[in-house]
Amino acid sequence: MKKWKITSLYYGALTIPKGFATPGVDTDLVFESPYIGYLLQNGEENILVDTGIRDDFIVDGKAYAGFPGKGGKQYVIDALAKEGLKPSDIDKVFYTHLHNDHAGNALMFKDIPTYFQKDEYSNLLNQIPSQKIRRDYDKRTPDDMQQLSSVFMINGNFKMTNGLEIYKTPGHSLGSMIIVVPTEKGRYVITGDMPHICVYMFPMMDEYQLIDGSFVKITPMPQYLPFFCSGQIYDHWAAFDSFYLIKSMAEEFKPEYMLTGHDPWVIFRHNFG
């Protein structure tokens, strides 16, 4: 079976204090947290994971929870162009989940096979109040999903003949899923927002790489071992099961094998596998 190559795609960013993700810790550390898509290529297929945020979801320069944001359709076009591709070169789309900053540009890819979890669609249609207040989901996404011509609404885990593996990992949303990608350098896990950034799975980290490649000191959180949950985790019981599953799926339990939805170093390092 052909091995995969993974490329991170920069879809814009939210400028956010680390303390928003890690309450009470590193509240002064403000950094650019990218909206990340992934391109998976095996020489036969171009698969896109997530489609970023819609332009007009960012109002007056503010996105999720009122933090400064930038992104939109042009970012997706530019990120693909950087890899020598047009949107029409994409063969399949996977959604780690359907939040505003992951499924915003679904209509750019409406005529190709699209994979997401049934429980995620259910969450999209039946949100809890905190998800509504924070606008986790773009209110146009249910209609966007209806317009897709070839939906594969997966219920649970799924191995594809091309070697990719999908696992349902609830916690951040009801139907989040990870994609396990076999490469020459081992098995990488594309986590979506479960977790958003790798410190959730590695609370003892004491330095963190930013989008320009520089490192900053961060505060270890020993009280949270083995994993920690922030306000972006809605179901802690499910999240722990998901974290342990993710831990067992990666080549090694190290941050470099966890390709999250918002870690700046993923954009800096760019190519995996």
Question: Which residues, numbered 136-195, are part of the site for Zn ion (CB under 5 A)?
Answer: 193
Tell me the three state secondary structure of residue 236: helix
Pick between residue 5 and residue 140 the one whose CB is nearest to Zn ion. 140
* Tokens matching residue 246: 């993710």
* Tokens matching residue 86: 């047009």
Choices 26-34, 57-65, 92-100, 110-118; region in contact with Zn ion by CB under 5 A: 92-100
Question: At its nearest, how many Å lie between Zn ion and the CB of residue 97?
Answer: 6
Pick between residue 73 and residue 99 the one whose CB is nearest to Zn ion. 99
Closest CA to 250 of 176, 161, 171, 165: 165
* Tokens matching residue 198: 């790798």
Asked if 70 touches Zn ion (CB under 5 A), the answer is: no
8 A C-beta contact, residue 90 and residue 47: yes
Question: At its nearest, how many Å lie between Zn ion and the CB of residue 26?
Answer: 21
Pick between residue 54 and residue 99 the one whose CB is nearest to Zn ion. 99
Bond from prior residue into 226 cis (ω within 30 degrees of 0): yes
Question: At its nearest, how many Å lie between Zn ion and the CB of residue 160?
Answer: 23
List, as one string, the DSSP characters of 10-75.
EEEEEEEEHHHHSTTSSTT-EEEEEEEEEEEE-SS-EEEE-----GGGSBTTB-GGG-BEEE-HHH
Question: At its nearest, how many Å lie between Zn ion and the CB of residue 179?
Answer: 15
Of positions 54, 99, 168, 262, contacts Zn ion by CB under 5 A: 99
Choices 32-40, 51-59, 97-105, 178-186; region in contact with Zn ion by CB under 5 A: 97-105
Binding mask 185-204 for Zn ion (x = CB under 5 A): --------x-----------
Question: At its nearest, how many Å lie between Zn ion and the CB of residue 176?
Answer: 8
For residue 176, the one-letter residue type is: S
Pick between residue 138 and residue 193 the one whose CB is nearest to Zn ion. 193
Question: At its nearest, how many Å lie between Zn ion and the CB of residue 182?
Answer: 25
Number of residues that bind Zn ion (CB under 5 A): 2
For 196, other C-beta atoms within 10 Å of its C-beta total 20
CA atoms within 13 Å, Cβ hemisphere of 122: 11
Q: Which residues bind Zn ion (CB under 5 A)?
A: 99, 193
